[in-house]
Structures are given as structure tokens and as C-alpha cells.
């Protein structure tokens, strides 16, 4: 096999983003609704083993760490009694809430009485720790309630936001309101202190904004949406303070400009992602085109100038975020797992506004590479930082003192079905490719979608849509940006569909038709933007949505001295017994052979060096 393609585009994703970029004449508002994962039953050779490991390993690890290995749950017990010390970091409550959200999502598609009982026990302890005025935060309850709401960087609203997300998820999963009631009381407490005509407040770590929108959508209480909007509008007006420790920096906290004036990403990467998600959610409901215009500008800055080929973001360990455009070191890359998950969240929202597949291209890249690398194949160890080069000393851990990433993965994995399909007035949208059966009502009609595929290992997808009555919608099937050649057929007859913003549009179809998408999946040699000085004279390897890397265990000890050339040939090898079953890539240059594995699989065997960007000679 001698298939390769050299790409050199002005973005590190480098899969055709520049070709697909379309700037509308004016900002758009939400046009697509996602099909919720609760309706999606995934049966997929790639994803099903990961979802199984989530249940058997990831959640048990989180539960054990929270209950037995750290003091996170004990903090709630102590707070309920009003005695004892607080252990850990001031924002550790959030790990409990995120793990609880992961439990809730798991229960939706995999009912488990024992797991639900465990969640109820946690919720009882959380509720018992709430103060009479509605306030809940174990750090301040145990270290001095007189100090609360004085330091904007102590994550009080951040923790509250994650509690709200968990409460909404658990209510959706079980119908139980206890944590939802705790959350509304905390929201009401905050609103008694902050808001128009009251105190100013700029949360140091965004999260509360998007959580309040979820609370509004669940309770239909307009005040929660309005409060989210108010918090967003607080930024960039000098209301932020340095707090008790003097660490407040406006750029780090996205507080330099009013959010609707933002043009460039800055500061802490995860905080940015949560901010942009909150802006998108409020914009959709408030019809705020100013927010959408700002998000368009920010997306260009992130993807075209500040994103790694893995879909990871955040190049600096110093601020867990950004320095300057095109500064993308490999060995010292930060690329926090939480930030990659945040890229999925944000890009899904951007796609809902626009119906543009370029956002799903980034979503997919971040999901399969940046986020999925964050958890081991066994599901029990985690990366916080995801570099693109290692000297053999960077490994996943069972837990972290700051454990935001393990708990983030615990809630992300069971919800991946959220990103497969969407609906709009005129169309049914197919965004991602994974085996599943989905049953849902669309326009009051019972619809079943069935997708069969071996993606991401090959590009063949079979889709069947069955509706009790005519659906009267287009089918919009995403053609990934990495795909340069494909065929589309209906009931075995090849069709030449029109395309719009990266989607093939099928207008003439009926219930029960079989749609086949066959995408060629060659090996690609990818080059970075020449302004990325760290990758001058280097290339990366990609196949389909997967970025590949060299790992020492598969290659000569001096593999870092190897190189690719224009004459390098590639062979894709099916290796069902390796790393959970993969397709590796063998690169041959003269008598030199290199073996590459998908980036998400690295550091699952013996320790050794790793690199994504490989020397290249013309």
C-alpha cells in the first residue's frame, strides 16, 4: 500500500479546515437539536469495550478514591456535623459531583440498582451538608463560613455548577429530585447575594454559567437563565478582584474584555471552554447574536492558531493554557484532558448554530485523540496532561491530588451518544460514525436509526432510517474533513448528492432505505503551519480521524533519529491482539521501518519514549 497525502494548511488540525471555512454574512442562532444519548444504544466494536470498561473500571476507581482513598466524601460528612477538618483542595467537592454525574449517565442506559443505591447514599450526605441558607461548599463550611464569597478564585460557583449538572443528570436518570432541590436552594442563595443592584461577582473558574442554563431547562425557572446571562455580562468591566491570595489576573480568568468583544483565547484552557459553552447556551436561548459573533472569532483563534494536531489545547504548564499564537511545544505540551473534553462540548454547540461540519471535524479530532488518550485501555488510569512527545517518564495515574480529569472522563464517556445525530426543521443530521440503534420521536413520528460500521478503522458506514410515517426531512450526512474521496449509495444505487457545509444532502429517500457511505481512508502525512517553530522539518501521521505516534516498544531505541521522506511507503496492518485491537501503520523508507500506533493507545504497555511529530527530509 503506497497511499499518502501531504497537507500544509494554516491550522494544526490540518484536515481541510481552511477549505471548509465559511464565514456567514451575519451571526446565526441555534438551528439543530442534538438527539440525546438516552435514546442511543451503542453496539460498536470500538466504543462498546470502552463503555464496558467505564462501568467495570472507571466508575469503581472514582468511587473508591472518593470514598476510601481521599477525604472527598468525608468532607461532606464532616460538614454535615459542623466539625472536623477539610482534607484536599478547596474545589474537591466538584470531583464528587462529576463522578455522580457519570454514575447518572451510566444508569440511563445501564440500570444498576446497586449503583443507584450508592448514588443515593452520596446525595444524602451532600444534602446533609447544606447550610440553612442554602449554601453548600465543604471547604468553607469546615474552614470558616465567614470567609465565603470573598475570593472569586476559590471555585464556590464552580463547585455549585458541577453539583447542578449532576443534579439534572440524576433527575433525568431516576426522577429523584433531592439533589435538584439542593441545587435550586444553592442557586437561590447565590442570587440573594449577586445580581442586578446587588454585589458584583466574576467566577474565577467558569462552569456555573452553563450549569444554570441546564437548571433553567429542567425547572423552567427563567431566573436561572437570567442569572447565567448576568454572570457572563459581569466579565471585562473591572469587577474581578485579586482575592485573598493576590493571584487574580484578568487575562488568566478571561476578564480583560466584555465577553461579546472577545477575539482571542487567553489564560486557562478549561475555563475558556466552559465560558464559551455558557456563552453558546445563553446565546441560543436569549437569541444573542453578539455572543455568537464573538464565538466565531474565538473559534478561528483556537483552531487556526492554538490547537494541536490531536485536538488538544493549552500549550503551557505555567497557566494550564495559552501563551502566544503558534506556540505549540510537543514535549512540554499541556493539553489537559478536561480541555479536550471541553472542545467536544463547545464544538457541538457551534455545530448546532451553523450546521457546518467543520465544528464536528474538530469535535471528532478532540474526542478520538485528545480526550480518549486521557484514560487507559483498562479504564483505570488517567492522564491529566497529554504531551505529543515523551522521554519515557510520563504515565497515567490512578488518581491525582487535583483529580478533575478522572472525574471528567467518568462523565464524558457514557454521554458520547450525544454527538452522533441532530434534528432540525428540515433535516436529520448524521455527525459521527459508530454502531448504534436509536429510537426517538421526530415531529411526533416514531423513528428508528440504525448505523453499522467499523469506524474509525475503515470508512464504510451503513445507515438505515425507519419511520412509521413519512418524515419529510433531508438526510444530511457528514463527510469528514479528512475524507477526500467517497461514494454514497441508496439501496445499492450510487447517488451524487449535493453538498452543503461538509454534509452530503440526500433529499430523495424513504423509510427503510439503506444508505451506504464508503470513505477512502489513506494514510496521510501532515505538516504543521510553518509558523509553528517546534514542528519545522517534521511531519505527523494520520489515518481517518486518528493521529498516530511512534512508541519505543515497537521501534528501534534510536527511533527519534529516524525520518520520513516523500518516498516513504505505508502499510496498514490489522492487529486484533494488540492494544485492544488496532490498525497500525508501518512506514518504510529504504531499509528503515517504523511502526506507528494510534495516539490514544500510547503508554498502555512498557514505559518508553513516544513522539507524534517525526523528522522529515525532502
Grid cell 485528545 in the structure block, residue = 370
Local structure of 487: helix, strand or coil: strand
- Residues near 68 by Cβ (< 8 Å), separated by ≥ 6? none
Q: Which residues are designated catalytic?
A: 320, 404
In sign, the C-alpha dihedral spanning 297, 299, 301, 304 is: negative
Spatial CA neighbour of 41 closest among 430, 454, 416, 444: 416
- The cell for 9 is 494548511
Q: Using CA atoms, how far apart are residues 405 and 383, in angstroms rounded to an integer?
A: 7
Q: Using CA atoms, how far apart are residues 486 and 496, in angstroms rounded to an integer?
A: 10
Q: How many CB atoms lie within 10 A of CB 13?
A: 27
Residue 488: in which H helix or E strand, if any?
A: strand 486-490
Q: Using CA atoms, how far apart are residues 434 and 461, in angstroms rounded to an integer?
A: 8
- Residue 268 in contact with residue 319, Cβ under 8 Å? yes
The three state secondary structure string of 58-125 is HHHHHHHHHHHHCCHHHHHHHHHHCCCCCCCCCCCHHHHHHHHHHHHHHHHHCCCHHHHHHHHHHHHH
321 — phi, psi (to 5°)?
Answer: -160, -125
Spatial CA neighbour of 587 closest among 596, 575, 579, 578: 596
246 — phi, psi (to 5°)?
Answer: 70, 25
Spatial CA neighbour of 305 closest among 524, 528, 502: 528
- Residue 244 in contact with residue 151, Cβ under 8 Å? yes
Amino acid at each position: 500500500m503506497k497511499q499518502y497525502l501531504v497537507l500544509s494548511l494554516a491550522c494544526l488540525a490540518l484536515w481541510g479546515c481552511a477549505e471548509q471555512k465559511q464565514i456567514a454574512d451575519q451571526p446565526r442562532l441555534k438551528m439543530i437539536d442534538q438527539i440525546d444519548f438516552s435514546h442511543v444504544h451503542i453496539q460498536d466494536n470500538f466504543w462498546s469495550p470502552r463503555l464496558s470498561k467505564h462501568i467495570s473500571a472507571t466508575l469503581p476507581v472514582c468511587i473508591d478514591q472518593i470514598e476510601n482513598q481521599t477525604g472527598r466524601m468525608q468532607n461532606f460528612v464532616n460538614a454535615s456535623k459542623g466539625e472536623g477538618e477539610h482534607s484536599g483542595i478547596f474545589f474537591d467537592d466538584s470531583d464528587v459531583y462529576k463522578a455522580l454525574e457519570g454514575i447518572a449517565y451510566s444508569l440511563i442506559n445501564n440500570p444498576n440498582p446497586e449503583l443507584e443505591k450508592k448514588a443515593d447514599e452520596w446525595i444524602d450526605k451532600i444534602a446533609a451538608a447544606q447550610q440553612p441558607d442554602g449554601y453548600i461548599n465543604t471547604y468553607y463550611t469546615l474552614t470558616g463560613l465567614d470567609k465565603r464569597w470573598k475570593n472569586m478564585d476559590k471555585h464556590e460557583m464552580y463547585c455549585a455548577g458541577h453539583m447542578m449538572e449532576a443534579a439534572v443528570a440524576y433527575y433525568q436518570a431516576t426522577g429523584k429530585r433531592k439533589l435538584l432541590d439542593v441545587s435550586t436552594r444553592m442557586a437561590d442563595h447565590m442570587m440573594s447575594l449577586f445580581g442586578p443592584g446587588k454585589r458584583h461577582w466574576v467566577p474565577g473558574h467558569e462552569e456555573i454559567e452553563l450549569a444554570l442554563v441546564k437548571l433553567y431547562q429542567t425547572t423552567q425557572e427563567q431566573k436561572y437563565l437570567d442569572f447565567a446571562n448576568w454572570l457572563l455580562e459581569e466579565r471585562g468591566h473591572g469587577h474581578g478582584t485579586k482575592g485573598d491570595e493576590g493571584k487574580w489576573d484578568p487575562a488568566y480568568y478571561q476578564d480583560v474584555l466584555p465577553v461579546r468583544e472577545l477575539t482571542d483565547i487567553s489564560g486557562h484552557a478549561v475555563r475558556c471552554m466552559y465560558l464559551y459553552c455558557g456563552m453558546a447556551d445563553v446565546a441560543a436561548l436569549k437569541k444573542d447574536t453578539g455572543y455568537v459573533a464573538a464565538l466565531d472569532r474565538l473559534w478561528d483563534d483556537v483552531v487556526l492558531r492554538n490547537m494541536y494536531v490531536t485536538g488538544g489545547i493549552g500549550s503551557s504548564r505555567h497557566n494550564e493554557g495559552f501563551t502566544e499564537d503558534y506556540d505549540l511545544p510537543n514535549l512540554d505540551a499541556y493539553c489537559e484532558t478536561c480541555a479536550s473534553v471541553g472542545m467536544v462540548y463547545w464544538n457541538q454547540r457551534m455545530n448546532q448554530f451553523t450546521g457546518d461540519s467543520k465544528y464536528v471535524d474538530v469535535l471528532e479530532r478532540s474526542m478520538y485523540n485528545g480526550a480518549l488518550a486521557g484514560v487507559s485501555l483498562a479504564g483505570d488510569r488517567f492522564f491529566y496532561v497529554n504531551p505529543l512527545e515523551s522521554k519515557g517518564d510520563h504515565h497515567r495515574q490512578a488518581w491525582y491530588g487535583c483529580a478533575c480529569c478522572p472525574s471528567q472522563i467518568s462523565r464524558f464517556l457514557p454521554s458520547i451518544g450525544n454527538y452522533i445525530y441532530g434534528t432540525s426543521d428540515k433535516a436529520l443530521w448524521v455527525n459521527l460514525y459508530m454502531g448504534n440503534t436509536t429510537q426517538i420521536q421526530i415531529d411526533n413520528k416514531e423513528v428508528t436509526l440504525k448505523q453499522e460500521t467499523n469506524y474509525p478503522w475503515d470508512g464504510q458506514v451503513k445507515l438505515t432510517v425507519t419511520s412509521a410515517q413519512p418524515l419529510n426531512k433531508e438526510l444530511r450526512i457528514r463527510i469528514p474533513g479528512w475524507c477526500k474521496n467517497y461514494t454514497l449509495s441508496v439501496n445499492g444505487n450510487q447517488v451524487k448528492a449535493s453538498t452543503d457545509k461538509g454534509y452530503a444532502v440526500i433529499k430523495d429517500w424513504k423509510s427503510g432505505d439503506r444508505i451506504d457511505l464508503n470513505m477512502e481512508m489513506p494514510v496521510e502525512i501532515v505538516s504543521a503551519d510553518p509558523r509553528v517553530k517546534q514542528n519545522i522539518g517534521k511531519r505527523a501521521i494520520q489515518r481517518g480521524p486518528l493521529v498516530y505516534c511512534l512508541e519505543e516498544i515497537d521501534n528501534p531505541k534510536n527511533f527519534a533519529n529516524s525520518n520520513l521522506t516523500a518516498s516513504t511507503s505505508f502499510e496498514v496492518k490489522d492487529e486484533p491482539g494488540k492494544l485492544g485491537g488496532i490498525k497500525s501503520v508501518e512506514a518504510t523508507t529504504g531499509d528503515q521501518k517504523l511502526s506507528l500506533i494510534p495516539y490514544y493507545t500510547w503508554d498502555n504497555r512498557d514505559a518508553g519514549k513516544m513522539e507524534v511529530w517525526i523528522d522529515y527530509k525532502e
